[in-house]
């Protein structure tokens, strides 16, 4: 983005800088990975129970996030 190259970057709010595709995709990826780990970990049945919801949330988030501007 050309805006980044200019000094105007200082005027961007925090939300503007965080709500971009790269970081959001990374967050979604982490959530999916966490869901998969929760599904297969041998330690806690509670984590296992919540794994599907986590993966589903991560996947849905990933799908939407990939539409966000670069």
Partner 1 sequence: MIPVPGSVHAMNELSASSRITYRAVRVRPGVARRIRGLSDKTLAWLFITPTIVLLLAINIFPLLWTIYLSFTNYRANRANVPTIWLGADWYQSILTDPDIWAAMQVTAHFVIWTVVIETVLGFGLAYLIDKKFRGHGLWTTIILLPMMLSPAVVGNFWTFLYQPQIGLFNYVVAFFTGRAASSFQMLGDVTLSPWAIVIVDAWMWTPYVMLICLAGLRSIPDYIYEAAEVDRASKWRQFWSITLPMALPFIMLAVLFRAIENFKMFDMVNLLTGGGPGSTTEVASITLKRAAFESWRTGYSSAFAIILFVTVFGLANIYVKALNKVKSR
> Site residues (CB under 8 A) for partner 1?
25, 28-29, 32-33, 35-36, 39-42, 45, 48-52, 55-56, 58-59, 62-63
Closest CB 15 distance from partner 1, rounded Å: 24
Q: How far apart are CA 50 and CA 48, in angstroms?
A: 5
- Least Å distance, CB 55 to partner 1, is 5
How far apart (Å, rounded) are the C-alpha atoms in residues 56 and 34? 11
9 vs 26 by CB, closer to partner 1: 26
Can you tell me the distance from the alpha carbon of 43 to that of 32, in angstroms, rounded to the nearest whole number? 19
């Amino acid at each position: 983005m050309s805006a980044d190259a200019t000094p105007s970057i200082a005027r961007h709010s925090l939300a503007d800088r965080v709500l971009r595709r790269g970081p959001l995709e990374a967050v979604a990826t982490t959530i999916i990975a966490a869901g998969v780990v929760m599904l297969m970990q041998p330690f806690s049945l509670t984590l296992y129970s919540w794994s599907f919801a986590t993966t589903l949330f991560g996947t849905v988030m990933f799908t939407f996030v990939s539409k966000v501007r670069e």
